[in-house]
Amino acid sequence: MIYSDDEIEQIRQADLLVSKTLAEMGKILKPGISTLQLDKIAEEFIRDHGAEPAFKGYEGFPATLCISENNKIVHGIPSEKVIIKEGDIVSIDCGTILNGFFGDSAYTFPVGEVDEEKLKLMKATRDGLYKGIEAAVAGNRIGDIGYAVQSHVESLGYTVVRELVGHGVGRHLHEKPQVPNYGKRGNGKKIKNGLVIAIEPMINMGSKDVQIANDGWTFSTLDGKPSAHFEHSIAIRNGKADILSDFEMIDKVVYQNK
């Protein structure tokens, strides 16, 4: 899909609502809260802003948010039984549908005092995302994005999840092309103006190997070590990446007291 400037602005509005929702989660994400409580508040917030949760009911997913703490990678189902603890890192992935366009972004939150190794993993994952975004320029190929992510995080001793990838996004939650977080330079589809994609590194502290839970959704690291996940939706405009989602408003909430 190639989108017009007007359509990209509509997608941006959906993405900014995702970012606002994630910022709201950052305000209430404290030890003792259940992931189901977070989910209910997020759904209400999204609907109050005239949008719908993009994930709820998607291929049978039962919730508004994917909440994945510590060794969970992605697609964690919110539950009253999952209680956030001091020292957790919590990846929250959120999607919205606003005026027929989809927004999609994810952010890994530190809860209270988080150990140094987890913080380093989070930084490497986030920096890897921005390396991928830098490579998302017209004339490059999708493989250049994955190469940029992979080479950065692997140089620091981390591993890239292979089973889960980024994707096109716009009028549907998942569109072509797939956007792996690993790859070879010069491989894959050519990047063109008007392309809108979600780049979302999922990076493990230990092995890249994963397992999927009996719920059919939740991916975790096979070795039980932590994983981090950051995601931006971007559009290619005037030859380079225009980031449609916004981490700044989330950072203000998360790091204002640090």
103, two tokens: 């927004």
Nearest Cα neighbor of 77 from 65, 86, 88 is 65
Residue 80: per-residue pLDDT? 97
**What does the DSSP assignment read for 108-167?**
EEE-SS--HHHHHHHHHHHHHHHHHHHH--TTSBHHHHHHHHHHHHHHTT-EE-SS--EE
Q: What is the pTM assigned to this prediction?
A: 0.97
Distance CA 149, CA 164 (A): 14
Q: Calculate what percentage of the chain has a pLDDT beyond 90.
A: 98
CATH of domain 5-255: 3.90.230.10
pLDDT by position in tens, the chain (length 258) = 999 999 999 999 999 999 999 999 999 999 999 999 999 999 999 999 999 999 999 999 999 999 999 999 999 999 999 999 999 999 999 999 999 999 999 999 999 999 999 999 999 999 999 999 999 999 999 999 999 999 999 999 999 999 999 999 999 999 999 999 999 999 999 999 999 999 999 999 999 999 999 999 999 999 999 999 999 999 999 999 999 999 999 999 999 865
Distances (CA, A) of 166 to 36, 229, 254: 25, 11, 25
- Cβ pair 89, 67 in contact under 8 A: no
Question: How many CA atoms within 13 Å lie on the side-chain side of 216?
Answer: 4
Distance CA 139, CA 190 (A): 6
Distance in Å from the first CA to the final CA of the chain: 41
Residue 257: per-residue pLDDT? 61
Residue 256: per-residue pLDDT? 82
